[in-house]
Amino acid sequence: MRSYSLIAPAKINLYLEIIGDRPDGYHELAMILQSIDLADQIEVRSLSTDNIRVHCHHPQVPTDKSNLAYRAAELMATQFPDAFSNYGGVEITIKKQIPVAAGLAGGSTNAAAVLVGIDLLWHLGLTQSELEELGATLGSDVPFCIAGGTAIATGRGEQLAPLPNLAPIHLVLAKYRSLEVSTPWAYKTYRQQFGSTYIRDSDNLAARASAVHSGAIVKAILNQDAAEISQKLHNDLERVVLPAYPQVLQLRELFATQPGVLGTMMSGSGPTVFAIAQSLQLAEAIKLNVRQAIPDEDLELFVTRTTTHGIQIVPI
């Protein structure tokens, strides 16, 4: 095959706790990551020339080295130089559905799809954990995006412990198109404001990270209890993003008052806010109500649901 088409789902954070700082400037996290149906479609194609090309119709998506998908292809070329010279360059086409700079791992899931696609194109036969290890060098969320589903993520976010598949939970997502929150800014501000509460002792850090495994939200996930999951949603980064971005706070408050909403939270470093809905019908009604309350065309609203997979190959 000279080309593959892949589905690259977005993720939301059902839980994000910042438990410590790290000497490398990153933060020790305890998270629960969840794949959702909202996805990009990625095509990877072999080129007869030896270069890497990225195409994307979306004006906010760069096509140069600043695109994580480009860097994923570059990483594969340097890791597997023989395959690169055998099979030639790679053309990557991204059909964007996932909002950009949204806290939904859009760039990370595109990069994960490129790793999986090139592994297939070049017949490398890499294992999931080898792909995840490569992914971790590109970004903290890339490893999760490969297999997706529901998982506990600790360390930088790259140490994964899969949880059993959840039956679909209906969601409404809201994001202002023109609003972007810088992830480094969010973590830096959190560290400045709340760094004094961090765990600095490595034994306690490990204990805290493993405590999430037996925490209330994991129990709720194991019980497939959407109402209980919704009650236990948590994101430490809301503490810095909500006060700085009144529009995000407004969405969060609006969702919380809608009939049929079981729970609401910001995803990642924002600015996307999601609501867990009791049913698909109620999710559609919530979307309509929010649209009526905020007729601003800059506001994007999506009805979607949780899914049990990460990168998938589209059968031809």
Three-class DSSP category at 240: helix
Strands 159-162 and 261-266: unpaired
Token output for 313: 């190959």
Query: What distance in Å separates the CA atoms of residue 154 and residue 16, rounded to the nearest whole number?
Result: 10
Token reading at 41: 């479609």
How many other CB atoms sit within 10 Å of the CB of residue 235?
A: 23
- Amino acid identity of residue 15, one-letter, is Y
Is 156 near ligand C5P (CB under 6 A)?
Answer: yes
**Is 219 tagged catalytic?**
no
Is 187 a residue that touches ligand C5P (CB under 6 A)?
yes
Measured CA to CA, the distance from residue 50 to residue 89 in angstroms comes to 4
Task: Report the residue from 67, 109, 110, 140 that binds ligand C5P according to the rule CB under 6 A.
Answer: 140
Provide the minimum distance between the beta carbon of 279 and ligand C5P in the complex, in angstroms, as a whole number.
34
Q: Of 33-92, which residues contact ligand C5P (CB under 6 A)? A: none
Query: Which residue, 230 or 269, is less far from ligand C5P as judged by CB?
Result: 269
Give 157: exposed, middle or buried? Use CB within 10 Å, 0-12, 13-18, 19+. Answer: buried
Taking the complex as a whole, the smallest distance from the CB of residue 158 to ligand C5P amounts, in Å, to: 8
User: d(Cα 277, Cα 171) in Å, to the nearest integer?
Assistant: 6
Binding segment for ligand C5P among 22-30, 59-67, 77-85, 232-240 (CB under 6 A)? 22-30
Rounded CA separation 119/134 (Å)? 11
Interaction between residue 189 and ligand C5P (CB under 6 A)? no
Residue 255 binds ligand C5P, judged by CB under 6 A: no
Minimum gap (Å) between residue 267 Cβ and ligand C5P: 14
108 assigned binding-site residue:
yes
Q: Do the annotations mark residue 105 as ligand-binding? A: yes
Residue 29 makes contact with ligand C5P by CB under 6 A: yes
Pick between residue 176 and residue 187 the one whose CB is nearest to ligand C5P: 187
Q: Is 182 annotated as a binding residue?
A: no
Selected from 3, 26, 46, 284, the binder of ligand C5P by CB under 6 A is: 26
Q: Supply the DSSP symbol for 270.
A: S
119 is catalytic: no
Task: Tell me the two tokens of residue 245.
Answer: 């971005």
- Catalytic one among 37, 40, 119, 141? 141
Q: How many CB atoms lie within 10 A of CB 52?
A: 23
Catalytic residue chosen out of the listed positions 11, 96, 232, 287: 11
DSSP characters over 206-230: HHHHHHGGGSHHHHHHHTT-HHHHH
106 is in an annotated binding site: yes
Residue 103 marked as a ligand binder: yes
- 101 marked ligand binding residue: yes
The binding site comprises 99-109
The binding site for ATP comprises 99-109
Interface residues with ligand C5P (CB under 6 A)?
26-27, 29, 139-141, 156-157, 183-184, 187
Residues annotated as part of the active site: 11, 141
